Structures are given as C-alpha cells and as structure tokens.
Amino acid sequence: MSIRVRFAPSPTGMPHVGVIRTAIFDWLLARHHNGKFVLRIEDTDRSRYVEGAVDNIIGALKWLGMDIDEGPSAGGDYGPYYQSERLPLYYRYVKYLIDEGRAYWCNCTPERLDKIRKEQQAKKMPVGYDNKCWNLGLNGEPGDGVHVLRFAIPPGMTTTFHDELRGDITVDNDELDDFVLLKRDGFPTYHFASCIDDHHMAISHVFRGEEWLSSAPKHKLLYDALGIEPPKFVHVPVILGPDRKKLSKRHGAANVLEYKQMGYLPEAIFNFLALIGWNPGTEDEILSKEQLAELFTVERINTSAGIFDIDKLNWMNGEYIRAMPLESLVERLRPAMSEWGWIDDGFEPWGKEYVAGVCALMQERLKTLVEMREKAFFFFEEFESYDPKGAKKAFKGDDIIDRLSAAREKLEKTEWTVVGIEAAIRETAEKFGVGAGKIIHPIRLAVSGISAGPGLFEMLHILGRKKVIARIDKAIESL
C-alpha cells in the first residue's frame, strides 16, 4: 500500500505553529516512505474564509522547504483540492445514507437547538441533539436553505476506533449525538467531507491534532455506514505556550510566518518543530529535513502535549547560523540589511567585501538574523551616544584623553592589518604601563558606541582607518 498523507488546513487565518507541526509530520512520513504529500484546502465554512489564507499556507510550506506533491497549485489526479469544489462528490452519498437509514433530514432551527442546549445545561444533563427529526421522513435537498442532513448514530451500543498511538478507544454511542453532515447552505461539515475525501484521495495516514480525538468515533461510525475502510489515524499532541495554555499571540507568536519576520531560519524552525512531540531516537538533535525524514516513524510520536520553548529555538537557530557558509549568511542577511537602509539592492555603498567581513565577525554572535541590527549597526551607521554603563567604566581616569590620543596617533601610522592594529594598541598600553584592556575598552566604545562586540582588532580592521580615527576624535571631543 502506498503512503499518501494529506495536510488539510482550513483557510481561516494565519498558519499556526501547531498546524504547521502537523504538516511537518505529514511531510516527514511521506518522504520517509517515498509517498505523496497532499495539500487539501478545507474551505467548507464560508463565513470564516479569510482572503489570502491559502497563499499564506502555501507560502509557509514553501518557506520551510516542504514540497507539495499534490494540491491546489501543484495539481494531481485526485483533485479538485478545494472542498468547496467537491460538493457533487459529497452529494453522491446522501441518498445512499438516507436509504440505508443512516442519515435523515432535519429542519430544527438554530434557535430551537440553542434552546434545548440551554435547558440541558441548566438541568446539568448531557447536552446534545434530541433526535426530534429522526423518523419524521422529512424531504430535503442539499442546500435547500431549511434542512440539514444528520447522521443517525446507532443507539445502545459502543464504538471502538483505533488510534495508532493510543490503541483502541471505546465509547458509548449514547454519548454521541446525531451530528450534522450537510449544513443548511449545502456545504458539508468537516466530519462528512474529510471522511469522503480521505477515502477518495486514497489517503493512508491521517495526522491531526488531538482535539479531534473526541470526534474520532463519529468518523468511525460514518466510515462503517459508508462502507469504506478508514485510513490510519494518528492524533498528535498539541503545542502549548509556557503557561500550558494553547499557544497564541500572547506567547510571542503563534503564526510561523512571524518567526520568519523575527529572524529565524526555516531550517531551524523545521528542526525545532519536528522535535516537539516526536524524537529521532538519536543523541544528535540538529538534523536536516532529509535526516529527519530518514529517521521518522509514527511510533516515536509522543502522546503528551509539548511546550514551545523559545530558548531552545534560539539556541538551535544560533547553531544553524554558525554552521552556515559565510556566503549563505550574507545572502540571508541581505534583504534585512537592505530594509534597514544599510545597503542598496547591491552591497553599495559599502561593497560586498566589507559587508561579508562584517557578517563574518557577527556570525557566531547571532541567535537570530534580526539581532544583527542592534549588534552591528555601527558598521553601517553613525551614532550619537555611548552606552552609559560602558562609558562609566571605559571613559574614566584622568588620562583617558591621553590614552585615546596616543592610540589614535599609533593607529594613524601603523600598517592597517589586524596584526598591525593589535601591535599599535598593545604598544600604547605598554607606553602607559597599563593592561591592554585600558586601551581596548575605551576604543571599542569610541568606535562602536557599545561595549560588546567582535574582537577589537578585527573590528577596527573592517571599519577602516579613516572611520576609526574620526570616531576616536569625536569621542575625545565629547569627553
């Protein structure tokens, strides 16, 4: 049997981290088995449809490097891949289900449903539809505006479904109510559409959030009524925020595309997300998509919810930044640097060599791409003030101006190489009979405005003699 998995989001907003993690599992299983990764858009709720949501979803998958084998933009033999375009397929099953006594039309109004629900709640009774229209033999048509189609749950028995991770789960049918298959507007509910589509798209494994666990028995019953074999179900654990609540904007960002904005690399996000709720069984955790796919098995997925630990993501992102060839880092940083006005569409006015030199110095100091802005601004911008804390420590002593001036003189004449610069500064320190730090720290502050950064000699070398001298002069003036 060939492995076919589908990622089936509804276009109701931004691609949520938890949703994307499910897609990652889908993709990993497909690639592991050389199967197909299918994208299906579940747009059956017209009221919640968000313009551009599909593009964002596809954009997120693309950013993360998950190639789609079949889907709206990729095509395929099992289309259409929008559920809204598959209505005739769903309608084909309506008559059959009604004839078999497994579904019936219902004309109960939302108001009535609301009323009985409130009464049930008030009496602390289990809530659910009261089957009023069952056996009324109502005649309806899909989308006639007054009827919904309901599934008739066989009463007085139990239903067992199989979850690949948790095993068999049995529930009492009386806990299930006659759920809606077709809504008043003629669109199917998730339950109806996904069962039919998964079958018709020959899906072998369904990964979905564990919030679907409760409705899994309904789906099992539906499959039985339809006379079709269900796919394998894997209910994956949810991803929570640090407060153990569902991950949301309050926790920073719940939308993967925002992580792109925050300077995270897609490789790191993919790697990190793959490791929440699943483990590769290896000691090493830094793994490429290909390695993850190689290692991926359903059995190693966990059953308990995981917390999104931004600290670990930061570490992992830093690992990826450091492991990257300089050339790649420059390219990744380029759009941002351009946005900050540091460079134009090329590398002007600084030139590629200068920009690459800065990137090389910053590479092991970045956890995210955007940190570049606050840590390397002085390579590209003039600044007006010195870090107060740093100034208090570095710009002190009666002879501070003398030390700065002396270093300036040396730097003006020395050979402009890293070694030459280092020699100039160490000689200055010697001349004053002080530790090198007494010269290094003031110069660092004078030249960068901050007290933390790359090694001073390399830094000065990149900045260039002219700018270094000018900034030292400016600092002396301010003292």
Q: Which residues pair with 148 in a beta bridge?
A: 106
User: CA-to-CA distance for 172 and 157, rounded, in angstroms?
Assistant: 6
Residue 454 found at the interface with RNA (CB under 7 A): yes
User: CA-to-CA distance for 471 and 449, rounded, in angstroms?
Assistant: 10
Among 105, 264, 270, 278, which residue sits at the site for RNA (rule: CB under 7 A)? 278
Structure tokens at 203: 């899906």
Q: What is the DSSP string of 235-264?
A: EEPPEE-TTSSBP-GGGS--BHHHHHHTT-
Q: Which of 62, 118, 249, 396 is labelled catalytic?
A: 249
Among 72, 140, 449, 453, which residue sits at the site for RNA (rule: CB under 7 A)? 453
Among 263, 306, 357, 442, which residue sits at the site for RNA (rule: CB under 7 A)? 306
Helices marked H in 123-209: 190-200
Measured from the CB of residue 155, what is the shortest distance to RNA in angstroms?
Answer: 15
User: CA-to-CA distance for 105 and 87, rounded, in angstroms?
Assistant: 17
Q: Which is nearer to RNA, 127 or 326 (CB)?
A: 127
**318-357 positions binding RNA, by CB under 7 A:** 318-319, 322
Structure tokens at 48: 């919640």
Residue 373 found at the interface with RNA (CB under 7 A): no
The upper half-sphere exposure of residue 300, i.e. CA atoms within 13 Å in the direction of its Cβ, equals: 17
Measured from the CB of residue 259, what is the shortest distance to RNA in angstroms?
Answer: 16
Q: Which is nearer to RNA, 212 or 338 (CB)?
A: 212
Q: Which is nearer to RNA, 31 or 235 (CB)?
A: 235
Which helix (H) or strand (E) covers residue 182, if one does?
A: strand 180-182
Q: Which is nearer to RNA, 171 or 336 (CB)?
A: 171
Residue 134 found at the interface with RNA (CB under 7 A): no
Measured from the CB of residue 344, what is the shortest distance to RNA in angstroms?
Answer: 28
**181-220 positions binding RNA, by CB under 7 A:** 183-185, 187, 189-190, 210-215
Among 90, 179, 264, 347, which residue sits at the site for RNA (rule: CB under 7 A)? 179
Measured from the CB of residue 436, what is the shortest distance to RNA in angstroms?
Answer: 5
Q: Burial level of 33, CB count in 10 A (0-12/13-18/19+)?
A: middle
Among 129, 320, 378, 380, which residue sits at the site for RNA (rule: CB under 7 A)? 129
Q: Which is nearer to RNA, 185 or 258 (CB)?
A: 185
Measured from the CB of residue 51, what is the shortest distance to RNA in angstroms?
Answer: 16
User: CA-to-CA distance for 141 and 148, rounded, in angstroms?
Assistant: 9
Among 137, 281, 341, 433, which residue sits at the site for RNA (rule: CB under 7 A)? 281
Strand 180-182 with 148-151, pairing? antiparallel
Q: 245 CB contacts (<8 Å, ≥6 apart)?
A: none
**226-265 positions binding RNA, by CB under 7 A:** 237-238, 240, 244-246
Among 8, 196, 447, 462, which residue sits at the site for RNA (rule: CB under 7 A)? 8
**89-108 positions binding RNA, by CB under 7 A:** 108
Measured from the CB of residue 444, what is the shortest distance to RNA in angstroms?
Answer: 6
Among 2, 77, 99, 110, which residue sits at the site for RNA (rule: CB under 7 A)? 110
Among 456, 462, 468, 472, which residue sits at the site for RNA (rule: CB under 7 A)? 456
**151-170 positions binding RNA, by CB under 7 A:** 166, 169
- Catalytic residue check, 393: no
> Is-contact 34 58, C-beta < 8 A?
no
**421-440 positions binding RNA, by CB under 7 A:** 436-437, 440
**379-408 positions binding RNA, by CB under 7 A:** none
Strand 158-163 with 148-151, pairing? unpaired
Q: What is the DSSP string of 364-419?
A: GG-SSTTHHHHHSGGGTS--S---HHHHHHHS-STTHHHHHHHHHHHHHHS-SSHH
Task: Indicate the length of the chain as a whole number.
Answer: 479
Longest dimension (CA), the chain: 104
The residue whose two tokens read 């003031």 is 442
User: CA-to-CA distance for 342 and 380, rounded, in angstroms?
Assistant: 6
Whose CA is closest to 72, among 2, 5, 7, 4? 7
Q: What is the DSSP letter of 168?
A: E
Of 110-118, 225-233, 256-264, 349-357, the window that binds RNA (rule: CB under 7 A) is 110-118
Q: Which is nearer to RNA, 212 or 354 (CB)?
A: 212
**34-73 positions binding RNA, by CB under 7 A:** 42, 44-45, 48
Q: Which is nearer to RNA, 347 or 375 (CB)?
A: 375
Catalytic residues: 249
